[in-house]
Amino acid sequence: MNVVIPTEDKQMQHIIEKVRHGQRLSLEDGVFLYQSDDLLTIGQLANEVALRKNGKKVYFIENMSLYFTNVCEAHCAFCNFRKDEGEEGAYTLSGQQMIEYVEKHFHPGVREFHIVGGHNPNVPFQYYVDSLKALKERFPEVTLKAYTAAEIDFFARISGLGYKEVLQELMKAGLESLTGGGAEILSDHYRKKMRVDKADVTQYLQVHRTAHELGLRTHTTMLYGSIESKEDRIRHLIQLRELQDETRGFLVFIPLSMQPINPRAGIRRRNSAFEDLKTIAISRLMLDNFQHIKAYFINIGVQLTQVALTMGASDAHGTIVKERISHAAGALTPEGITREDLIWLIKGAGRIPVERDTFYNEIKVYE
């Protein structure tokens, strides 16, 4: 396959040759791609890699996002989901209350609960264990993909246990995978500036390393589009790539487009479509040891997600039912999507929809 527009740029030609010969891209290569405005070449190169890894298959899952509590001790600058205890709108649900919520929205096709929430210091670690236990007992067939690495670090602090012991307790309660959140940008400078007063870079990576050592396969993210530099983004990807070399424990990488705090914020306060597509494509090119890159329709919209499936993405996420965190921060997208619409979206990009479970085992291929 030839690139769409033949390029005379020597560095782009060099990168094309490296990708086609399976050679790893460097920090300098990644920064160059971000600085280039040749989206078609970058996108088609990423498409080649995605086709090489997964053929025309694009994966999705029937899942539900659940949030046990929005009370949080952290005050991250980009978050509009968190509340203080006692503040209007603050809540902390018991296991039974969550089961009542799930039963209202549940149908037999749901295969995964995606569980994240605030770092609520007003309840003990046992509360978080019991939350999973209650769900697993009531819905034993549904995979529990629960908590971010930052939440695991928080649980370690409030319980006095190490990461390994925290994860083992949660696994006994039914934990089967970690979510990818809490990564933001893996840069200490960024985290200080954006008041990310939760797990630092080393802690985030160590939680995932420990989870992988215990046999858990996990997800990971990057929240881009605020104060970070293009070099920060590439360094972030390289740190994840290095951990993946070490453990092979990551299932998928999810670039998350930063949302403005105000839902009425105009176009200039959001990442451009150009930037979103470029980030997905560059992620595919840099993360040569990841099987999947996800296009997250909650943050970039369903139509841009469709385009992203031809620029390196091989996962269109899932049905979700009711997403809250990005919408609290101003996302203008649907809070969920039906299985039928996901299938239509994937087929519309000339791809083959594949319903999967959490671990990318194929449930049904929609030829």
Q: 3-class DSSP state for residue 110?
A: coil
Residue 76, marked binder: yes
Where does residue 5 fall: left (phi above 0), alpha (psi -120 to 50 degrees), or beta otherwise? beta
Residue 78, marked binder: yes
Residue 79, marked binder: yes
Measured CA to CA in angstroms, residue 210 lies from 166, 167, 214 at distances of 10, 8, 6
Residue 248, marked binder: no
User: Where do the DSSP E strands lie in the chain?
Assistant: 57-61, 63-66, 112-115, 143-146, 175-178, 217-224, 250-257, 292-293, 315-318, 352-356, 362-365
Burial tier of 175 (Cβ tally within 10 Å: 0-12, 13-18, 19+) = buried
Residue 145 to residue 129: CA distance in whole angstroms: 13
Q: How, if at all, do strands 362-365 and 352-356 pair?
A: antiparallel
Measured CA to CA in angstroms, residue 219 lies from 74, 194, 208, 327 at distances of 22, 23, 9, 21
Annotated binding site for S-adenosyl-L-methionine: 78, 184, 195
* Binding annotation for [4Fe-4S] cluster: 72, 76, 79
Q: Which residues are annotated as a binding site?
A: 72, 76, 78-79, 184, 195
